[in-house]
Amino acid sequence: MAPADGARADARTATEQLFDLTGRVAVITGGAGMLGGKHAEAIVELGGTAVLLDVQEAASTAAAERIRAGGGDAWGVGADITDAAQVRAAVERIVERYGRIDILINNAALTVKGGGAAFGDYFAPFEEYPEALFDLALRVNLTGAFLVTQAVGPVMAAQGRGVIVNIASDVAVISPDHRIYAGMTYGDKPFNTPIAYSMSKAALLAFTRYLATYWATAGIRVNALSPAGVLDGHDPAFVERLASCIPMHRMADRDEYKGAIAYLCSDASSFMTGANLIVDGGRTAW
């Protein structure tokens, strides 16, 4: 016998409640960036508060203002996540303001757009990759996540619950297909996926598993999200080459990871920890 309309409504309500983030505070590193902003939108659209933590304080403040203008609750905080003292001070400010931290999204990563001309060798081939740039990439992508999580984790443990999501990458699971970069340039430089990016993102997966088992009894769930490339003004020839490696034959749109973030940050994934959610249009299935 089919359930009555009321029963169906109750079932929908129960499912919707799994995704409800009302009253929860989420800290998003690299919050002023493109995907950081989208992660924040996902949080506030489900009723939560987004704290945009970024080394570019003016940009994080502006991003938070845009969210508030749309009716969401957000706050921009400036901090260099590679500086332990700045991280601790920022976390103290957040806890002082909100009294809690329920979600941490370790999203920040070193990018050529963020570094501009200072990262002229960002796409250098492996044999010529500068040690200083390699060290900086690991410090931002990996040490930064370590320092922020080290500061936020005890707050969550004291609450008896929390969610941590580490943003990894499809190239943390598979190698970049070096063939698609042949003849491609970024400005006047050869274009590729740098060795430090793949290495650091892969390390985040081990970080995820370690913390998932370490904090399981403290009520803290730790998972990773491995996205594929997001369409953002790329050379059409490159897009076509990359799309040829993806069964869905396209790159992701900017909004297509919001559903994954909503799932991982909410009670919808309450029995999930230590996992890596790959959202890549099927690329790693080949």
pLDDT of residue 116: 46
169 in Cβ contact with 226 (< 8 Å): yes
pLDDT of residue 1: 41
Model confidence at 200, pLDDT cuts 50, 70, 90, reads very high
Paired residues of 28 in beta bridges: 52, 105
Q: What is the pLDDT of residues 61-70, one digit of tens each?
A: 999 999 999 9
pLDDT of residue 129: 93
Indicate the CATH number of 20-285 among 1.10.1610.10, 3.40.50.300, 3.40.50.1820, 3.40.50.720. 3.40.50.720
Q: pTM of the full predicted structure? A: 0.94
pLDDT of residue 115: 59
Q: What is the pLDDT of residues 255-280, one digit of tens each?
A: 999 999 999 999 999 999 999 999 99
List Cα–Cα distances, 138 to 104, 171, 182, 248, in angstroms: 19, 15, 26, 31
pLDDT of residue 120: 78
Q: Dig out the tokens for 188 from the structure.
A: 């006047």
> How far is 52 from 74, CA to CA, in rounded Å?
7
**pLDDT value at 235 more than 50:** yes
Model confidence at 2, pLDDT cuts 50, 70, 90, reads very low
Which of 5-9, 43-47, 184-188, 270-274 shows the lowest per-residue confidence on average (mean pLDDT)? 5-9
**pLDDT value at 3 more than 60:** no
Per the rule left: phi > 0, alpha: psi between -120 and 50, beta: everything else, 282 is: left
> How far is 105 from 264, CA to CA, in rounded Å?
10
pLDDT of residue 187: 75
**pLDDT value at 185 more than 80:** yes
Phi, then psi, of 160 in degrees rounded to 5: 85, 10
Identify the residue with better confidence: 10 or 248: 248
Per the rule left: phi > 0, alpha: psi between -120 and 50, beta: everything else, 160 is: left
93 in Cβ contact with 77 (< 8 Å): yes
List Cα–Cα distances, 257 to 74, 147, 226, 245, 262, in angstroms: 19, 25, 10, 19, 9
Give the percent of the chain with pLDDT over 70. 94
Give the percent of the chain with pLDDT over 90. 85
List Cα–Cα distances, 172 to 13, 190, 237, 260, 272, in angstroms: 37, 22, 24, 17, 20
pLDDT of residue 228: 97
DSSP, residue by residue, the chain:
-PPPHHHHHHHHHHHHHHT--TT-EEEEETTTSHHHHHHHHHHHHTT-EEEEEES-HHHHHHHHHHHHHTT-EEEEEE--TT-HHHHHHHHHHHHHHHS---EEEE-----HHHHGGGGTTTT--GGG--HHHHHHHHIIIIIHHHHHHHHHHHHHHHHT-EEEEEE--GGGTS---GGGGTT-EETTEE----HHHHHHHHHHHHHHHHHHHHSGGGTEEEEEEEE--B-SS--HHHHHHHHTTSTT-SPBPTTTTHHHHHHHHSGGGTT--S-EEEESTTGGG-
Mean pLDDT within 205-215: 98
Per-chain mean pLDDT for the chain: 93
Q: What is the pLDDT of residues 100-123, one digit of tens each?
A: 999 999 999 998 776 545 677 889
User: Residue 125 CB: number of other CB atoms within 10 A?
Assistant: 12
